[in-house]
Chain A
């Protein structure tokens, strides 16, 4: 299947967004005292 410009842009955008979010998540896990326990129902 030949990819269109729109599909390339979408996947590249997702890769950048996911990388940034994972970077922030890792930074927060390393530096905070949050216990990440769900207090749901």
Chain B
């Protein structure tokens, strides 16, 4: 049975809110790590909890070693960094290969799928980058488990920010007020409503109990809306639970169908993934390329960085050529939009209000059409 209809999960989540909001001597991050281990172990699978602990400890040991040897030996540090980077990357590649082509019923795959390893992998990359490059404090092992495997963000994200998670320990303890609790409960129930009534109710109304089939443009537009309510519903629930728990949880969707361009769409749809890409991939890559090639190639570097980043986003979803082509296409479109916007801004007539309004309307229609066509291209295969 899915987690949403599992009363054990909701009982445990309520107990976690009480435990997180009670005045206790334990740091919030450590407390949350222990609670996440218990929830996953009891509500899902105790072996998944053991795997969480093993992965968390392995990442912690590697990063702790880097911190210890950093000043003394750069060779040892590089070796540790490579090990802590390559081991999760290897597991991620194998996980994705099995997901795409292999036998998805094996125990290791099932446990990694229970933990949504695609998201865990991105959190591991973030913690490695932040701790090794920026020398930000490394959380204690159990607290790190809480960052990598936050139980309320496990099903479908969002991707929490390491620096924000760290701040939980610095904040002064405050009791949960009735107004805050009411707002949190409203968010959780609204998320549940989006998922159950709008997504699943809508799906059953349109396609019956049969599997979703993307055969026409109308189907694709409806699936696009279904995914928004389905994924958005989970994200709103996680956001509400995060507020109740006092755990920083980012907002993941902000009216994406009102986006006036593909670039804006990615600032409204799966926001935490877009932010992750900007922090961990786009900015570091762009800075390095500009340093190597020089600022006279800034435009080429911008285009290249966008295409590489979105190709990465494509294969992160699925290891197949369709998602790769989709990612490259999105990156290229965003680069084109950036160039068109800079030309547009230089025109004096572009400041006319009526023209701006018309461009906005056309932009919303263009974005919905382009993104639906893009999703249709990748979903066509997976729903066949």
Q: Give per-residue flags for B199-239: 1 if the beta carbon is below 8 A from chain A beta carbons, else 0.
A: 01101100011000000000000000000001100100000
Q: Mark A2-39, 1 if CB is under 8 A from B, else 0.
A: 00000100110011011001101100110011111111
Q: Which of A11, A18, A33, A34 has the most CB of B within 10 A?
A: A34
Q: Distance in Å from the Cβ of B277 to the closest Cβ of chain A?
A: 15
Asked if B192 and A38 sit within 8 Å, CB to CB, the answer is no
Residue of A nearest to B209 (CB): A33
Check B2 for interface membership: any CB of A closer than 8 A.
yes
Known contacts A24-B197, A28-B197: does B189 contact A18 (CB below 8 Å)? yes
Separation of A35 and B209 alpha carbons in the complex (Å): 8
B4: Cβ under 8 A from any A Cβ: yes
Whether A32 pairs with B186 at a CB distance below 8 angstroms is no
How distant is the Cα of A10 from the Cα of B182 in the complex, in angstroms?
9
Do B193 and A25 touch across chains, with their CB atoms under 8 A apart?
yes
Q: Is B185 an interface residue (CB 8 A)?
A: yes
Partner of B196, one of A14, A17, A25: A25
How many residues of A sit at the interface, in one of the four size bands?
20 to 34
A32 to B208, CA, bound (A): 9
What residues of chain A lie closer than 8 Å to B343, measured between beta carbons?
none
* A38 and B155 form a contact (CB under 8 A): yes
Instruction: Please give, as numbers and ranges, the residues of chain B lying within 8 Å of A17 by CB-CB distance.
Output: 186, 189-190
Known contacts A32-B200, A34-B204: A11-B192 contact under CB 8 Å: no
Residue pair B200, A28 in contact (C-beta under 8 Å): yes
Measured CB to CB, the closest approach of chain A to B236, in angstroms, equals 12
- Residues in chain A near residue B195, CB distance under 8 A: 36
> Interface centre among B182, B183, B190, B230, by most A CB within 10 Å?
B182
**Chain B neighbourhood of A11, CB < 8 A:** 178-179, 182
For A38, give its contact among B2, B183, B208, B316 (CB under 8 Å). B2
Query: For B320, what are the chain A residues with a Cβ–Cβ distance below 8 Å?
Result: none
Beta-carbon contact of A40 and B231 below 8 Å: yes
| Any A CB within 8 A of the CB of B5 | yes
For the complex, give the distance between the alpha carbons of A10 and B201 in Å.
Answer: 28
B132 on interface, CB distance cutoff 8 Å: no
| Inter-subunit contact B155/A40 (CB<8 Å) | yes
Say yes or no: is B317 at the interface (Cβ < 8 Å to chain A): yes
Nearest residue in B to A25 (C-beta to C-beta)?
B196
How far apart sit A10 and B177, CA to CA, in the bound complex (Å)? 13
User: Are the CB atoms of A34 and B193 closer together than 8 Å?
Assistant: no
A11-B178, A33-B204 known; A28-B185 Cβ under 8 A: no
Q: 9 more A-B contacts (CB under 8 A) besides A38-B155, A41-B317? A: A10-B182, A21-B197, A24-B197, A25-B189, A34-B201, A34-B204, A35-B2, A36-B200, A40-B231
Contacts from A to B (Cβ < 8 Å) = 7, 10-11, 14-15, 17-18, 21-22, 24-25, 28-29, 32-41
Pairs of residues from A and B, 5 with the lowest C-beta to C-beta distance, nearest first: A34-B200, A33-B209, A21-B193, A14-B182, A36-B2
